[in-house]
Amino acid sequence: MSRIGKTPVPVPEKVKVSLNGRVIAVEGPKGKLDWELPGRTSGEVLENQVIIKRDGDDKDAKAQHGLARALVNNMVVGVSQGFAKELEIQGVGFKAAVKGSVIDLNLGYSHVIHYELPKEVKVTVAEGVNIKIEGVDKQVVGRVAAEIRGFYPPEPYKGKGVRYKDERVVRKEGKTVQ
């Protein structure tokens, strides 16, 4: 049995979980999410936990079992606590600003990058260089952070670029004249 899949998902007091056929819906203080379970799995909602079961014993069924449990757990954590990613911009003149549902990034290019934010996330910019991305869906928060970082990933020679707050960039020595 899948080691991840067999552990039940604990449900906090403020979170409501309902199962309608194959669609699992989770609602909490931060928002609500719903997701359809994969084909080889089924779910059961008890008073304060969710149990994911699998149909079959092959490799694919085991993988779907663990995946379904992990995603349901992420949904429960997301609607109760939420997820956040922090980015920091390093470089002279590099900065960011949020205007409505668009984040404007000045990253040393000849133009300003306008990135349209999905409505599921909330983005705040502090001091022009610290970006905080918050939301209930872990996948959307991670995707937005990765796309913003992708506009100018940290380079190894001067360290300029957009990086995660806890990311360590290995610096390289430049060319030397002999």
Mean residue pLDDT of the chain comes to 92
- Per-residue tokens: 23: 């669609």
Amino acid 2: pLDDT: 56
Query: 3-28, pLDDT tens digit by residue?
Result: 888 899 999 999 999 999 889 999 99
Q: How confident is the model at residue 91 (pLDDT cuts 50, 70, 90)?
A: very high
| CB neighbours of residue 150 within 10 Å | 9
Domains recognised in the chain with CATH numbers: 9-80 (3.90.930.12), 83-164 (3.90.930.12)
pLDDT over 70 (residue 44): yes
Strands (E), the chain: 9-10, 16-20, 23-28, 31-36, 41-45, 49-54, 83-90, 95-99, 102-106, 113-116, 121-126, 130-135, 161-164
The SS3 assignment for 60 reads helix
Query: 139-166, pLDDT tens digit by residue?
Result: 999 999 999 999 999 999 999 999 999 9
Cα–Cα dist 22/40, whole Å: 11
> What letter does residue 176 receive in the DSSP assignment?
-
With a threshold of 0.85, does the pTM exceed it?
Answer: yes
Cα–Cα dist 169/159, whole Å: 7
Amino acid 1: pLDDT: 47
